[in-house]
């Protein structure tokens, strides 16, 4: 990895396309001048936004394509018309060809995952990649994975998620041995899915130096920040993530209604506004914008489709951070340790 962090951007992704992608890159550049960008997209749409920003123009180049993946298409459709030539594909391809260290897209999640898997392939021993989300908690942030890359997981896949999530937490949160919990419905050992119990047994017996497995956690433990890494299969993980987002919006709506209802409440609101702004900031989904695709031979970051420039910058900076700390090498090493050592030891003890 060079001193520079080279970031490939799908300029056509997301609800707002190049306007947000270019503005977000500009913001990220002011905070991390060692970023270099390659914009993939329609040059007639992208170039004008870049031209307005001389510093960004100097730190970037633009690769033209007129194929953009649509937000509403199925992964299979997107692969059909977008392979080899869409802005999304080309951004991922740049990572594969070592022309970029990370790809960032606000586009169609399913298509981005399908193309990433197709082009980058999974790491040795990993069958299915995962999406890791940064989840704001009362203690800071946690990583929750998988939030929707695949449905269902056997015990070994859950263990791999734990290892990959912990490697990511180590980098993002700066903790040596992140705490890891398995999402379940009830904290007693006997409850929950067989594969979750089995994964718990493997993690507990492995006593890995890379992670501190603390047992089962329930849905309401995520927001408490009970553990650094919450591990679950993608169906339940996606439902948890979306439900939390929905609940936050619901309460924000209640708050807005409550504060507008009487003159007294409105005056109170004006006085409390700075405090409420702080609250809004803590609830701001842009702060934690960006899912990390894990388990691939390369790093891909998914930004929310509806985000603004600040949110897209956060996704870029997330990518910058994990590349800067060499996440991929650390995940590969940790998976190697997990796949060779503890399971061998376990096999020896069990058989």
By CB under 8 A, name the binding residues for a copy of itself: 74, 110, 137-138, 148, 151-152, 183, 185-186, 188, 190-193, 218-224, 232, 234-236, 238-251, 253-255, 258-259, 261-262, 264-265, 267-276, 278-279, 282-283
DSSP E strand boundaries for 71-129: 102-105
* Shortest reach from residue 58's CB to a copy of itself, in Å: 40
* Shortest reach from residue 53's CB to a copy of itself, in Å: 34
* Shortest reach from residue 269's CB to a copy of itself, in Å: 6
Which CB atom, from 175 or from 283, has the smaller least distance to a copy of itself? Answer: 283
Q: What angle do CA 234, 238, 239 make, to 5 degrees?
A: 120
With a CB cutoff of 8 Å and minimum separation 6, the contacts of 297 are: 96, 120, 121, 122, 123, 328
Q: What angle, 0 to 180 degrees and rounded to 10, lies between the N-to-C axes of helices 75-82 and 87-96?
A: 80
* Shortest reach from residue 193's CB to a copy of itself, in Å: 6
The whole-angstrom separation of Cα 46 and Cα 29 is 17
Residue with tokens 């970023």: 35
Which CB atom, from 94 or from 241, has the smaller least distance to a copy of itself? Answer: 241
Which CB atom, from 54 or from 72, has the smaller least distance to a copy of itself? Answer: 72
Which CB atom, from 37 or from 216, has the smaller least distance to a copy of itself? Answer: 216
Q: Residue 261: what are its φ and ψ, rounded to 5°? A: -80, -35
* Shortest reach from residue 320's CB to a copy of itself, in Å: 28
3-state secondary structure of 12: coil
* Shortest reach from residue 234's CB to a copy of itself, in Å: 7
Which CB atom, from 279 or from 329, has the smaller least distance to a copy of itself? Answer: 279
- Taking 3-state DSSP, the helix, strand and coil percentages for the chain, each rounded to the nearest 5, stand at 55, 20, 30
Report the helix count and the strand count for the chain, using DSSP H and E: 13, 11
Q: Is 214 left (phi over 0), alpha (psi -120 to 50) or beta?
A: alpha
Which CB atom, from 175 or from 239, has the smaller least distance to a copy of itself? Answer: 239
Q: Is 208 left (phi over 0), alpha (psi -120 to 50) or beta?
A: beta
Which CB atom, from 98 or from 139, has the smaller least distance to a copy of itself? Answer: 139
Please give the span between the terminal C-alpha atoms of the chain, in angstroms, as a whole number: 43
* Shortest reach from residue 43's CB to a copy of itself, in Å: 31
């Amino acid at each position: 990895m060079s001193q520079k962090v080279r970031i490939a951007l799908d300029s056509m992704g997301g609800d707002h396309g190049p306007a947000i992608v270019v503005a977000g890159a500009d913001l990220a550049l002011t905070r991390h001048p060692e970023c270099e960008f390659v914009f993939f997209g329609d040059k007639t749409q992208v170039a004008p936004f870049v031209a307005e920003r001389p510093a960004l123009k100097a730190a970037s180049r633009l690769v033209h394509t007129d194929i953009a993946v649509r937000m509403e298409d199925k992964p299979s459709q997107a692969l059909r018309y977008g392979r080899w030539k869409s802005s999304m594909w080309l951004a991922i391809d740049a990572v594969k060809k070592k022309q970029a260290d990370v790809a960032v897209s606000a586009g169609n999640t399913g298509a981005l995952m399908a193309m990433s898997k197709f082009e980058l392939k999974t790491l040795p021993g990993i069958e299915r990649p995962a999406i890791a989300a940064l989840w704001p908690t009362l203690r800071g942030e946690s990583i929750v994975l998988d939030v929707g890359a695949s449905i269902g997981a056997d015990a070994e896949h859950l263990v791999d998620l734990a290892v990959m999530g912990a490697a990511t937490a180590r980098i993002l949160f700066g903790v040596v041995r992140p705490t890891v919990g398995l999402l379940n419905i009830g904290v007693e050992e006997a409850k929950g899915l067989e594969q979750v119990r089995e994964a718990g047994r493997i993690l507990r017996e492995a006593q890995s130096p890379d992670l501190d497995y603390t047992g089962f956690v329930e849905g309401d433990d995520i927001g408490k920040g009970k553990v650094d890494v919450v591990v679950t299969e993608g169906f339940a993980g996606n439902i948890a993530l979306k439900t939390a987002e929905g609940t936050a919006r619901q309460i924000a709506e209640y708050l807005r209604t409550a504060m507008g209802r009487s003159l007294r409440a409105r005056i109170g609101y004006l006085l409390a506004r700075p405090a409420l702004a702080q609250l809004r900031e803590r609830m701001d989904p842009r702060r934690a914008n960006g899912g990390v695709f894990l388990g691939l031979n390369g790093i891909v970051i998914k930004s929310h489709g509806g985000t603004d420039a600040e949110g897209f910058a956060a996704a870029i900076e997330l990518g910058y951070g994990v590349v800067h700390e060499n996440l991929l090498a650390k995940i590969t090493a940790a998976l190697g340790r997990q796949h060779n050592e503890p399971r061998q030891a376990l096999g020896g003890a069990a058989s």
